[in-house]
A and B are shown apart, each in its own frame.
Chain A
């Protein structure tokens, strides 16, 4: 009788452990999918673009990109090359591919630099008009 009961308990225990392992694998899968390079590239490009659109000239924006740095380091992309600006578009690149580009409509001069390893500082300034000095 005792051995039979013991057997049932071991079987149940293994069953519960296997179920827990399955749930843990599923949980890790979901987390991994959400922290993928493609998703992060898109998220940051759109976020930065919207921030620039709503910013006034003279604004300085500091963004914590710790999760992006983790992915960039994994993929061998230097963190200083992750965010780049070209005319009125921002490109976020976390892998060796082309990255994700999104345009903004605010006609401003945008520059960026890295501080404290994981932060990107974005400066928004008035665009210098070519061919004439401002009064």
Chain B
């Protein structure tokens, strides 16, 4: 009688063990597919590099470039040929697709960051309002990076604020 019970118990344990193995297998397969199925999101790194490239272009060695500011005025031709001057291209691989980048550079003479003295912008500005939203909650929106630094222009301190944005949602978010 005792032996029969024990055998029954062992069979029950093996069935339970089989179910546990099945559950573990399903869990691992689902988790692996979730992990490798979603693309790597590199947009924040890309936006950071873009902002740094723009900062290096505007102020190569910590001083404001003469291409940007000369004889007490900001140069309009730099604004007009900003992408060419900074060696940037915002062309998309798909000709029917909007550009996936946006850069805005604001120069402020005062410490209060209001009404910039000079502004440069290039790319797709339609996403700008999305930068206000929390990126952790809205993964399907663009990634924005803001950088700020100061430059000395013949005794005047200018605050330079760079906003860079990268779209490419389809390639970086599932």
Do chains A and B stick together as partners? yes
Binding site for B on A (CB under 8 A): 22, 26, 29-30, 33-34, 36, 39, 42-43, 46, 49-50, 53-54, 57, 86-89, 101-103, 105-108, 126-127
Is the contact region of chain B dominated by helix, strand, or loop, or is it mixed? helix
Contact of B53 among A49, A87, A106 (CB under 8 A): A106
A-B contact pairs, 23 of them (CB 8 A): A26-B25, A29-B28, A29-B32, A33-B32, A33-B33, A34-B36, A36-B36, A39-B36, A49-B46, A50-B42, A50-B46, A53-B49, A53-B53, A54-B52, A54-B53, A86-B93, A88-B89, A103-B100, A105-B50, A105-B89, A107-B83, A107-B87, A107-B89
Inside 8 A of B101's CB, which chain A residues have their CB?
Answer: 105
Q: Using CB atoms, name the residue of chain A closest to B89.
A: A107
Q: Determine if B120 is an interface residue (Cβ-Cβ < 8 Å).
A: no
**Which of A39, A43, A105 has the most CB atoms of chain B within a 10 A radius of its CB?**
A105
Q: Is the CB of B28 within 8 A of A26?
A: yes
Q: How far is the CA of A39 from the CA of B46 in the complex (A)?
A: 19
**Besides A86-B93, A126-B87, 17 new A-B residue pairs in contact (Cβ under 8 A), listed by A number:** A22-B21, A22-B25, A26-B25, A29-B32, A33-B36, A42-B40, A49-B42, A50-B46, A50-B49, A53-B53, A88-B91, A88-B93, A105-B53, A106-B53, A107-B84, A107-B88, A127-B87
* Contact across chains for A46 and B40 when beta carbons are under 8 A apart: yes
Using a Cβ–Cβ cut-off of 8 Å, how many residues does chain B contribute to the interface with A? 30
- Leading 5 A-B pairs by shortest Cβ distance: A107-B89, A89-B93, A53-B49, A107-B87, A54-B49
Nearest neighbor of A105 in chain B, beta-carbon distance: B88
Chain A residue with the shortest CB-CB distance to B91: A88
A-B contact count (CB 8 A): 68
B171 proximal to A (CB < 8 A): yes
Q: Knowing A30-B32, A101-B93 touch, does A108 contact B87 (C-beta < 8 A)?
A: yes
User: What residues on A are CB-neighbors of B24 within 8 Å?
Assistant: 26
Given the complex, which residues of B lie within 8 Å of A36, measured CB to CB? 36
Bound together, the chains give a CA A50 to CA B89 distance in angstroms of 14
Q: Are B88 and A30 in contact (CB under 8 A)?
A: no
B148 at the interface (CB under 8 A from A): no
Please tell me if the beta carbons of B91 and A87 are within 8 angstroms of each other in the complex: yes
Q: Are the C-beta atoms of A50 and B83 separated by less than 8 Å?
A: no
B39 contacts the other chain (CB 8 A): yes
Contact of A42 with B92 at beta-carbon distance under 8 Å, contacts A26-B28, A50-B45, A107-B83 already known: no
Chain B, range 22-58, C-beta contacts under 8 Å to A: 24-25, 28-29, 32-33, 36, 39-40, 42, 45-46, 49-50, 52-53
CA distance A43 to B172 in the complex (A): 11
From B28, B40, B83, B92, A30 is in contact (CB under 8 Å) with B28
B contact residues around A54 at 8 Å (CB): 49, 52-53
